[in-house]
Amino acid sequence: MTIILQTLLDYFRPTIDFIFGHNIPFNVRWRLLLLQPISVITIAVAKVPWLFRDKPWTEHTLALPGRTLRYIVFKSSANHGPAGRLRPLNLHIHGGAFLGGCPEMDASFCELLATQTGAVVVSTSYRYSPRYPFPAAIDDVDAFIAHLQRVAATEFGADPTLLTTSGVSAGGNLALATCLADGAHGDAETAIKATVTYCASIDLRISPAKKPKPKGFPSVDPLFFLVPLFDSYPQPVRDADKAQLENARMSPIVAKVEMLPPRILMVIPTIDILLHEQLTFVERVKGEMAANERYKGRRLETKLYEGQLHGWVGCESFSH
């Protein structure tokens, strides 16, 4: 029954939040009904293919106060090192504009990563807006990492001190933002060692409607009617407290270099409304690294994909 309820929640979260999300302003709330068919298609694309093959993962849940996080763990059966040696650990965070999704969304990528590297790869859910605005999602990721580091060695044979993160779109935001938590950076044993982001949304200081559009960007956004939803994760706290504009946990673009992981790779399509913020971040961080001797040894690399739109990646592209 729990699996059935979770599946229904994944598919019909927008409608459920429309009915029960009494804290959501109606200007945002009614748009959830327009999001519903998109949600069904997205979840079906992620889940249906796995109905007809053996799943390369084990499923788990983490009970936290007031919510439960579902996560899946990928571990290759191949021997990638000395017997008994703990494997590296990677947390992957799916995208979905902070509005929804499921851990299966990037399952092919996670399976490939686990198979080719020998790492234990974990993909988790988190709370979604507009029902749960900032900082709900990042709080969930932080809490999940703390849990993961406690059980990694005993339950999954992974080394909690060799933790990396990766994420797509909103997941890229969370993959970077969680590196700023206490104990996740600097010389801490539990510091996150590296991060890879795909089409990362790292500047939530302004709404999507006000972001600079790159050359070649479509003149008409077919999803313009959902823009208030796309802004529903940061907008409530951003409007209520202007100090949040400099909160790197919401907008990693303003993060201090010393709090970032020492290795970062950003995969960036060029026809993406998020292009400007990612390139601005790269230019600023690289400039500070070059100008300050204490940042020697840190690396920030980018991989640009010309002519590609946001959403082209979905990480599934990298499995082929």
The two tokens of residue 40 are 């069904």
> Is the C-alpha dihedral spanning 99, 70, 259, 318 positive or negative?
negative
Per-residue pLDDT, 258: 92
State the pTM of this model.
Answer: 0.92
Which of left, alpha, beta for 2 (phi over 0: left; psi -120 to 50: alpha)?
Answer: alpha
Strands 87-93 and 158-168: parallel
For residue 312, give Cα distances in angstroms to 50, 197, 224, 261: 21, 14, 18, 26
| Cα–Cα distance, 170 to 110 (Å, whole number) | 17
Per-residue pLDDT, 320: 41
Per-residue pLDDT, 318: 44
What's the order of all strands across the beta sheet hosting 120-124? 57-64, 67-74, 120-124, 87-93, 158-168, 194-198, 263-271, 299-309
Q: What share of the chain is helix, strand, coil (3-state, %, to 5)?
A: 45, 20, 35
Per-residue pLDDT, 119: 94
Per-residue pLDDT, 2: 65
| Cα–Cα distance, 190 to 6 (Å, whole number) | 31
Residues sharing a CB contact under 8 Å with residue 85, sequence separation 6 or more, in sequence order: none
Domain ranges for the chain, please list them: 2-77+84-319
**Closest by CA position to 158, among listed 107, 185, 198, 193:** 193
Cis before residue 135, ω within 30 degrees of 0? yes
Per-residue pLDDT, 65: 92
Angle at 32 between CA 30 and CA 37, to 5 degrees: 130
The SS3 of residue 248 is: coil
| Cα–Cα distance, 181 to 75 (Å, whole number) | 26
Per-residue pLDDT, 82: 61
DSSP string of 139-203?
HHHHHHHHHHHHHIIIII-EEEEEEEEEEETHHHHHHHHGGGSTTSSTT-TT---EEEEES----
The per-residue pLDDT string of the chain (320 residues; one tens digit each, 9 = 90 and over) reads: 466 677 788 889 999 999 998 889 999 999 999 999 999 999 999 999 888 888 999 999 998 998 999 999 999 876 655 667 899 999 999 999 999 999 999 999 999 999 999 899 999 999 999 999 999 999 999 999 999 999 999 999 999 999 999 999 999 999 999 999 988 888 888 899 999 999 999 999 999 889 998 888 888 777 788 899 999 999 999 988 888 889 999 999 999 999 999 999 999 999 989 999 999 999 999 999 999 999 988 999 999 988 888 876 654 444 44
Q: CATH fold of 2-77+84-319, please? A: Rossmann fold (3.40.50)
